[in-house]
Amino acid sequence: MLRGLYNWVMRLSASRHAIIALFAIAFAESSFFPVPPDVMLAPMVLARPDRTWRYAAVCTVGSIIGGMLGYAIGHELHPVGHFLLAITGNAGAEPFIRAQVDRFGVFFILALGLVPIPYKILTITTGMFNFPLWQLVAASCVTRSVRFFGVSALVRRFGPTLLPVIERRLLLASTVVVVAVIAILAAVHLLTQR
């Protein structure tokens, strides 16, 4: 099923409605859709490098607004939020994220927004435990900008040779990023304990 969605998003990236679809995918991924917008952003940047920053901005804005919907789902529609987390295999995410946010505050949100895990996990769960929305939005503005402008810059710089490498090495790259985030969080924790 995920492979079919991935292929559909890749085809959509070549259509004349690509920029609208990019916004919609970025919006939906932050609240309920399983495919990250990067899979659409990368081929669009490859096809039109002159529009790199426009595509990155559209993706960022869509993700931030979608994150607000994810927050609202968690805050106002708890059963729907629990259902969305359950169908994505993240049913137990709320206690973990709450504990990390209690411990590291907005720094955890900043770190988690960069890694290639579904952002909806963070947006829905922060809504569930009433984390201040303005802090989520502020952190999302920073972290989603860094992520999507960074992906766009890498794709623009390294060109068509990058996409097959990303697809082949996605698990390895994700693992490296997650380990780096854990190391950063551990360092922050150690520094705040002194």
Q: Kindly report, residue by residue over 25-34, the tens digit of the pLDDT.
A: 999 988 887 7
pTM for this predicted structure: 0.77
Q: Could you tell me which residues come within 8 angstroms of residue 116 by beta carbon, excluding any fewer than 6 positions away?
A: 36, 38, 170, 173, 174, 177
Q: Kindly report, residue by residue over 66-121, the tens digit of the pLDDT.
A: 999 999 999 999 888 888 887 777 777 788 888 888 888 888 888 887 776 778 88
Mean pLDDT of 138-142: 93
Q: What band does 176 get if pLDDT is binned at 50, 70 and 90?
A: low
The backbone region for 89, taken as left when phi is positive above 0, alpha when psi lies in -120 to 50, beta otherwise, is left
Q: What band does 191 get if pLDDT is binned at 50, 70 and 90?
A: low
Q: How far, in Å, CA of 174 to CA of 21, rounded?
A: 25
Could you tell me where the DSSP H helices lie in the chain?
2-12, 18-29, 38-47, 52-76, 78-87, 93-104, 106-112, 119-128, 133-158, 162-168, 170-193
Residue ranges of domains in the chain: 2-193
Q: How far, in Å, CA of 142 to CA of 137, rounded?
A: 9
Mean pLDDT of 18-38: 87
Worst-scoring range by mean pLDDT, 113-117, 153-157, 190-194?
A: 190-194
- Look at residues 117, 118, 139 and name the one whose alpha carbon lies nearest to residue 64: 139
Residue 139: the pLDDT is 93
Mean pLDDT of 152-169: 72
Mean pLDDT of the chain: 80
Residue 185: the pLDDT is 53
Q: Which residue has the higher pLDDT, 188 or 46?
A: 46
